[in-house]
Amino acid sequence: MRILIAEDQPATASILETILSSYGRCDIVENGKKAVRAVERAFKERQPYDLICLDLMMPEMGGREALLKIRETEKQHSRQSLSHYSKIMIVTAVTDTHNRQGSLADGAAVYVTKPFKKDDLVRQLKAMGFI
Ligand SMILES: [Mg+2]
């Protein structure tokens, strides 16, 4: 499967990549704007992402805004050519109910809080049906 990691902390991005690269090819970007652009590019290549990990607090554009824009992009492409909706996993240090509930309502599949362990991610991959 194809995986996109949007995370502004290189150390965290690297941990995510180490764990997730067992399950698919990972691309890494450091803000929401680049995540949206990467999703566009993947659609053009006709190989959209299966899983997108979004940090909430990132420069330029945070994860909540990116999530909405990614869903918009997917909706447009689904109408025109390729119908595909990625599973979105929020990975964040933000633990409040407002952000958790809001992200899930906006279409995130799962919400993981930092610090996380490999087992936490594997459990979520199972919950999303990837493994
Ligand atoms: Mg961050």
pLDDT recorded at residue 79: 87
Residue 8 in tokens: 């502004």
Q: Tell me the whole-structure pTM to 2 decimals.
A: 0.97
pLDDT recorded at residue 80: 85
pLDDT recorded at residue 62: 98
Longest CA pairwise span in the chain (Å): 40
The fold for domain 2-115 equals: Rossmann fold (3.40.50)
Residue 121 in tokens: 């991610």
pLDDT recorded at residue 3: 98
Cα 77 to ligand 1 centre (Å): 28
* Residues lower than pLDDT 70 in the chain: none
Cα 127 to ligand 1 centre (Å): 24
